[in-house]
């Protein structure tokens, strides 16, 4: 009696597609946790909430665990399925994306730690308003990057990449202002340095959000657009449309 394998190929293919979709879903779940970490870190900084800042620090391990789990699943798929072309690009993009998400979590942890340290000190509320504005801008970048990833939307990804230029300019402005502030009042140097760490962490979060969008463009378009100007990136993406 011969084994009927007529539907075996179709079943394997469906299972493979389900495995890939499950990984994408886990990446988005990880992204949601990262977004919450950013929001909590900024809230802790704004409200001088020591407990919330410490919670952000403690919750970073959850993001690390998700990165390890997703990475192991991607390794399993590569070993068992040997993906090619678009599927391989997708797995590679996911591996790179979760690395950046984990690093965003690390930066949020730094902000949470600085929030706990700054609570109750006499730092300038005017300077903190600038930090919060930058934080809101960067938080939106992360949200939009994850939304582009979920919808495989290259145009939205390009807008996030473009936004990073504005974030970098705002970062430089805040850093110059803080430097002037420290020169005018050396007594506030310790607090100002903690704020600088927060600002630097936010700028890095923006960079990681940009990276995620570059990986998405690579996955969808099959073109590595890292290390080129935004204008060249837009031209490459449109040329491959």
For 3-52, how does the pLDDT look when each residue is reduced to its tens digit (9 = 90+)? 344 454 555 678 888 989 999 999 999 999 999 999 999 999 999 999 99
Give the per-residue pLDDT at 191.
87
pLDDT for position 217: 95
Higher pLDDT, 54 or 129: 54
pLDDT at 241 (0 to 100):
58
User: Mean of the pLDDT values across residues 166-190?
Assistant: 91
Q: Residue 84 in contact with residue 33, Cβ under 8 Å?
A: no
CA distances from 223 to 52, 82, 97, 218, 220 (A): 41, 21, 16, 5, 8
Q: In this predicted structure, what is the pLDDT of residue 122?
A: 65
Q: In sequence order, which ranges of 123-188 are alpha helices (DSSP H)?
A: 125-151, 154-184
Distance CA 158, CA 160 (A): 5
CATH number of 9-239: 1.20.58.220
Q: What is the C-alpha to C-alpha distance for residues 137 and 191, in angstroms, rounded to an integer?
A: 23
24 Rama sector, left if φ>0, alpha if ψ -120 to 50, beta otherwise: alpha
Q: Over 70: is that where the pLDDT of 112 sits?
A: yes
In the numeric block, the tokens 């290390």 are attached to 227
Domain spans of the chain, in order of start: 9-239
Confidence of residue 120 (pLDDT cuts 50, 70, 90): confident
Indicate the pLDDT class of residue 213, thresholds 50, 70 and 90: very high
**In sequence order, what are the residues at sequence separation of 6 or more whose Cβ sits closer than 8 angstroms to the Cβ of residue 181?**
124, 127, 188, 192
> Mean pLDDT over residues 168-186, rounded?
92
**Best CA proximity match to 33, nearest among 76, 63, 77:** 63
**pLDDT of 210:** 97
Task: Name the more confident of 85 and 106.
Answer: 106
Average of per-residue pLDDT across 41-66? 96
Q: What is the pLDDT of residue 99?
A: 98
pTM: 0.91
Query: What does pLDDT average to over the chain?
Result: 90
């Amino acid at each position: 009696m011969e084994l009927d394998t007529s539907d075996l190929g179709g079943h394997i293919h469906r299972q493979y597609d389900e495995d890939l979709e499950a990984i994408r879903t886990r990446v988005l779940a990880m992204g949601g946790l990262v977004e919450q970490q950013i929001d909590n870190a900024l809230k802790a900084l704004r409200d001088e909430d020591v407990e919330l800042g410490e919670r952000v620090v403690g919750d970073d391990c959850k993001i690390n665990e998700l990165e390890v789990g997703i990475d192991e699943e991607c390794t399993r798929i590569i070993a068992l399925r040997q993906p090619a072309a678009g599927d391989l690009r997708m797995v590679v993009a996911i591996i790179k994306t979760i690395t950046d998400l984990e690093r965003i979590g690390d930066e949020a942890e730094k902000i949470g730690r600085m929030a706990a340290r700054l609570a109750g000190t006499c730092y300038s509320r005017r300077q903190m308003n600038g930090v919060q504005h930058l934080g809101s801008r960067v938080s939106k970048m992360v949200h939009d990057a994850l939304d582009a990833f979920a919808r495989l939307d290259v145009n939205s990804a390009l807008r996030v990449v473009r936004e990073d230029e504005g974030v970098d300019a705002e970062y430089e402005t805040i850093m110059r202002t803080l430097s002037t502030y420290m020169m005018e009042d050396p007594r506030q140097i310790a607090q100002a340095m903690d704020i600088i760490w927060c600002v630097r962490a936010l700028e890095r979060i923006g960079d990681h959000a940009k990276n995620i969008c570059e990986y998405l463009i690579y996955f969808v378009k099959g073109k590595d657009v890292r290390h080129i100007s935004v204008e060249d990136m837009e031209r490459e993406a449109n040329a491959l449309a």
